[in-house]
Amino acid sequence: MTVRDWDSFREILEHEINSCSISLDAQGYRVDAKKGKPEGIRDHCCPETKNNPRLKSCDYFYLHEQKFFCIEFSDLHRQYIDRDVKFQKINSLANRLLIEQLPRKERRELLKEVKGLKVFTQVKSVIKQLRSVPLSKEDGYLFLQGIREAEPLAIILNEIVKKFQDTDSLLKTIYHPECDRICNLPDRTMSRYFFVVWHPHSQTELKELYDSDVLSEIDIGRLFDPIQDNLREALRQKSFELLNSEQIFLLPLLMFKTRYCSH
């Protein structure tokens, strides 16, 4: 494997959030893969193998005033809406399956619909139980627990926690004394921070993408008020070597640009 200089990964920060015209004029160090571009730090230093699946690390590393930032750009606003639409559907189907005494044929049809919502992998373990009528009390509890884990906030939280974990793993790899795939790294003793940078879409933008009845049922405030504290609480339960579980922040894109990318 060719040794690459840290600076060879440097490029303009691109958030890739659709329907957002804000651009960043700062340069970071690309971590993830990008079509048509050379491999990022992740794939260069931790290539995917049969025994080592690809890390789900952050998008960029970024240096600012002697601080080391790990940046994950995320369209949280639209992700929440998209997942909430699917969650409401699966929740409705689940309630019918659990509460109503449905004929077996209709029950099978509902099960097909539930299984078709592939994003909700958390409920697959109890799908088989739903073929019998009625469900045992324990099976019903497991299914409802799976539904709760499929809530949009729960999925988003778990995905960010995974990003944080895998970014820490990547940092451990590249800063290991025996790592010979990257050179001239920033000082290991720099303070490190993890940012989830999102864009709050305007109602005008959203109305071009969603039906009004979908938007009227979405409480976006539920997403952003508690999630930073919830993330820190979830991360405190885990062990990290180079990242601090308290140093994770959610910032709107424009605020991030104003604070950290303006010269």
Using CA atoms, how far apart are residues 146 and 143, in angstroms rounded to an integer? 5
Pair 215, 104 in one domain: no
What secondary structure letter does DSSP report for 53?
Answer: P
Distance CA 150, CA 122 (A): 6
Domain boundaries, position 63: 4-77+153-261
Q: Are residues 227 and 161 in the same domain?
A: yes
Residues 129, 212: one domain?
A: no
Task: Show which of 119, 150, 181 is a domain's final residue.
Answer: 150
- 197, β-bridge pairs: 73, 251
Tell which of 106, 126, 150 closes a domain. 150
Burial 148-177 (b: 16+ CB within 10 A, else e): eebbbbbbbbeebbebbbbbbbbbebbeee
Query: Is the N-terminal amide bond of 134 cis, ω within 30° of 0?
Result: yes
Q: Are the C-beta atoms of residues 164 and 193 closer than 8 Å to each other?
A: no
DSSP state letter for 166: H
pLDDT the model gives residue 216: 63
Same domain, 253 and 125: no
Per-residue pLDDT at 119:
44
List the chain pLDDT tens, one digit each, 263 residues. 689 999 999 999 999 898 888 999 999 999 998 877 889 999 999 998 988 899 999 999 999 999 999 999 999 988 888 888 777 777 777 777 665 666 667 766 766 666 665 544 545 545 555 555 555 666 566 666 666 666 788 888 999 999 999 999 999 999 999 999 999 999 999 999 999 999 988 888 888 877 777 776 566 666 677 888 999 999 999 999 999 999 999 999 999 999 999 76
Q: How far apart are CA 20 and CA 200, in angstroms?
A: 9
19: left (phi over 0), alpha (psi -120 to 50) or beta: left
DSSP 66: T
Residues 196 and 208 in one domain: yes
CA nearest neighbour of 76 among 199, 169, 230, 185: 199
Provide the H-helix boundaries in 150-252. 152-174, 203-207, 212-216, 221-224, 227-236
Note whether 73 and 178 are same-domain residues. yes
